[in-house]
Amino acid sequence: MKITKLLISTIIILYGTFAYSQETNLYDAKGKLKINATYKIDRSILKYMGDIEKEALPSVYASIEYPLPAYENGIGGQVIAKIVVSRGDLSIYCKIESASDPSLGKAVEKAFYENSLIIYKSLETNEKIEFYVPFEFKVNT
């Protein structure tokens, strides 16, 4: 009987460890953004990030329009956007945390708002979640 309880306890502990040890394309198992470890999310959100990355972010990335003045002047660089989504109260918020140029940040922000319905649909919880998304702008020469 004690062995059975010990075995069940061990399985529950290991399951909890593995459930929160997942990593995604954007985040490591500790919830740090792979491209810039300064940005970190709550590890409990990792379970939702896979669907968001697979179902919603491709639409966001595809709808970004490179600002013409930035493109013509060879301005590129990285943009990190903080996204706060709550399907429960239908709210979405996009804040540009860092951008090499303000026009690149505005292009990212616009793409998130244009794709908010897809983001809502890909989220499997009504809880409010916060996460970061990186974008890289490059001018081909």
Q: In what order do the strands lie in the sheet with 77-86?
A: 91-99, 77-86, 128-137
Rounded percentage of the chain residues whose pLDDT exceeds 90: 71
**Which pLDDT value is given to residue 21?**
52
Backbone angles phi, psi at 85, to 5 degrees: -130, 140
**Which pLDDT value is given to residue 139?**
87
pLDDT at 79 over 70: yes
* Whole-angstrom distance, CA of residue 104 vs CA of residue 111: 11
pLDDT tens column, 1-22: 444 434 444 444 444 444 445 8
Sign of the alpha-carbon torsion through 116, 122, 125, 128? negative
Q: pTM of the entire structure?
A: 0.80
* Whole-angstrom distance, CA of residue 129 vs CA of residue 120: 11
Q: Is residue 55 helix, strand or coil?
A: helix
pLDDT at 118 over 80: yes
pLDDT tens column, 12-70: 444 444 444 588 999 999 999 999 999 999 999 999 999 999 999 999 999 999 999 99
pLDDT at 108 over 70: yes
